[in-house]
Chains A and B, each alone.
Chain A
């Protein structure tokens, strides 16, 4: 399809395990974002990529969280030594930063629901 795709849709893991969440953005979108949404909260910014580089990773909560986008398309969010507090829906969004007027619109995936037992 033409939308943002995220896998897996659901992931259950045990405390202390390593997890990878994948995002496939809309083709041609140079900007890619990761957000975390806990129950009853709005999306919380984690990191955004402009092309291959992380333009802003100020939202990553600690060094257990890391994200890559090696070829400027697909991105992987990696969480080491998972904790119960990491349980949330992880949202990915992409956007075109070209065009006039300034595009601005984020296109979201359906999210990956992570449950840490």
Chain B
């Protein structure tokens, strides 16, 4: 069965400190992984996807198939990074489209 695990419910760091939000997944096929973010009073939105290997707002995430991990990192946290972060796994379906499952989320709090 597919599963996404985010072990930390809350992560608190000081502004300027490095950040790493952990994500591990369980899936027997080839995974498509994403990070979604929800800022206060805003809707859930895509932050980045592993397939495009992009850096958004200074965040990066590397897929490690050996460790089945997709940790989100940023070298210098900013106060505006405070939000809920969800790791997500998408499974391509033979019937077309895909199914996306989410982890429980990690709340990042960046202190001034």
Contact = CB atoms under 8 A, between A and B. Distances in A.
Interface of A: 3, 30-31, 33, 35, 40-45, 48, 50, 55-56, 91, 93, 95, 97, 101-102, 104-111
B97 A104 contact: no
Interface string B59-98: 0000000000000000000000000001000101101111
B96 A97 contact: yes
Contact of A42 (B32, B46, B99, B104): B104
Contacts of B4: 42
Interface string B1-41: 00010100100000000000000000000001010100000
B97 A30 contact: yes
Nearest to A41: B104
Interface of B: 4, 6, 9, 32, 34, 36, 43-46, 49, 51-52, 86, 90, 92-93, 95-105
Contacts of B101: 45
A106 B95 contact: no
B95 A50 contact: yes
Contact of B51 (A42, A45, A102): A102
Given A41-B104, A106-B100, A101 B52 contact: yes
